[in-house]
Amino acid sequence: MLPQAESYEELIAGFRWDAPEHYNIGIDVCDKWAEADGDRLALIHKASDGEVSHFTFEQVRRSSNRCANLLARNGVRRGDRVGILLGQAPETAIAHVAVYKIGAIAVPLFSLFGVDALRFRLNDCAAVAVITDGAGADKLAAIRAELPDLRLIFTIDGPRCGCHDFHAELSRERDDFAPVSTRADDPALIIYTSGTTGQPKGALHAHRALLGHLPGVEMSHDLFPQPGDRIWTPADWAWIGGLLDVLMPAWHHGVTVVAHRFEKFDPEGAFKLMADFEVRNAFLPPTALKLMRTVERPRERWNFRLRSVASGGETLGAELLEWGRQTFGLTINEFYGQTECNMIVSSCARLMPNKPGVMGRPVPGHTLAILNAAGEPVPNGVLGQIAVKRPDPVMFLEYWRNPEATTSKFSGDWLLTGDMGVRDDEGYIRFVGRDDDVINSGGYRIGPGEIEDCLLGHRAVKMAAVVGAPDELRGQIVKAFIVLDAGYAPSEALIRDIQQHVKVRLAAHEYPRQIEFVDALPTTVTGKVMRRELRARSKL
């Protein structure tokens, strides 16, 4: 979607949205390519047992048509919600394409969700069907009596009590299907937020959301696609980062996707996978990068040849960016967004200089501002809340059946991200932290990202997270939770050394006055550090 350009300014000047009135994700990412080049390779799947399967766009078209016929024959209608409780697997992609083709609404569900998480989401969206595996079916069996709207469960692992055998029934369906005509603004999927405050909210997205993602995906992968591109991410397809930052944009462009998700992320396995399957593009969340950073001599051990690496979710900082250059031979492009309005800021090493600690510039097509507490734009250099102006193709339609939450997400025509940032005179935006992550210490407002990056530069630090801890004198002080690298043990001398490391490299008011050594940091299922848990621990 992005025009050819030699600079960011040229990219902005040449961009125009081209969203048709009628648009269907399933047709765009599958049928379009099956008709043009059916033998084009869509997916390479490495299963947990090591078996590798290949799927062309024509095979995906036929399988998704069978799935669409199966759902329709069992009474799933336009606008019905269909849960997809699967990891990175061919059936996951096929189910998504099928649901879009029949005009239903896909509800991706993380395979590691427990019964409470599933009960809430399936009841909240009133899902009529779920496509899952054996493990998911067992979870659903425990709560099925509490899900009055759920009529159908299909399992990809063979027959289960009270469930339909997905593959057996698929084999009996026709492989031709006429997709329904959907408008670009018609609902396509509900992705639930992580529920940082209260219960999770279902962000309802239209079919146009995929088109809205394209400029950010293309920019973050140095003008994706290029000849020979092939993409992989460890991020689960149940989340917006895996589904709409990788799988669907790649298929929009006819680019092959590598599918494999580790049961537990294996940094050495990630290097090997990218080498074995000739991955050229990767979306690697910051947590994955930090773990990969602990692997010794990766370039000597694996012949990976990446063209682009994108990362989003947390600020990387200078230490990780420099490690990326040494390891991958490229500059990692950071991007920014959230479930409700994703891929709206990005860096692009091909077009503009990288600034450590800065996530990039607004992606073409998106209007951003930094707002004060009154909802008014502030001058460059002033801290405020990052906001996005509507209408915007990538922006969600609403929170599912939650008008109060939808209303509170906006100030006039500005969508409020809840994230604090600063914009400089060149338009670069520095992410400072969630509104409640910013530390107020002795009159200073301190963002955790820069300190965490500095801590990672210490030889003993493997992982670090920074929060504000209550303090009678300063209001808050900086507290660091640190996971030590192998060969180091907690000691008062090490605490003083780490504190001095930050004092010298950042500032005296930003060093962690408290340090707590921990075995692991609490993270969300998408790998983000749960600072609210660390803040709660700091108040004890």
What lies within 8 Å, CB to CB, of 491 at 6+ separation is: none
The least confident of 3-17, 160-174, 460-474 is 460-474
**What is the mean predicted confidence (pLDDT) over 313-328?**
89
The least confident of 165-179, 383-397, 523-537 is 523-537
End-to-end CA distance of the chain: 51
The least confident of 358-362, 380-384, 429-433 is 429-433
What is the DSSP annotation of 437-467? Answer: TSEEETTEEE-HHHHHHHHHTSTTEEEEEEE
**What is the mean predicted confidence (pLDDT) over 251-280?**
96
pLDDT tens, residue by residue, 131-157: 999 999 999 999 999 999 999 999 999
Domains for the chain: give ranges and CATH numbers.
Answer: 24-206 (3.40.50.12780), 437-538 (3.30.300.30)
pLDDT value for 443: 62
pLDDT at 198 over 60: no
207 within 8 A of 24, measured Cβ to Cβ: yes
42 within 8 A of 55, measured Cβ to Cβ: yes
9 within 8 A of 15, measured Cβ to Cβ: no
pLDDT value for 440: 74
210 within 8 A of 25, measured Cβ to Cβ: yes
pLDDT at 389 over 60: yes
pLDDT value for 506: 78
Look up the pTM and report it. Answer: 0.86
Q: Quick one: what percent of the chain has pLDDT higher than 90?
A: 80
Size of the chain in residues:
540
| Band (196; pLDDT cuts 50, 70, 90) | very low
521 within 8 A of 465, measured Cβ to Cβ: yes
**What is the mean predicted confidence (pLDDT) over 117-140?**
95
The least confident of 40-54, 133-147, 225-239, 497-511 is 497-511
Which residues on neighbouring strands pair with residue 310, listed in sequence order?
283, 333
Q: Which amino acid is at 1?
A: M
Mean of per-residue pLDDT scores for the chain: 93
**What is the mean predicted confidence (pLDDT) over 88-102?**
98
pLDDT value for 197: 47
**What is the mean predicted confidence (pLDDT) over 242-262?**
97
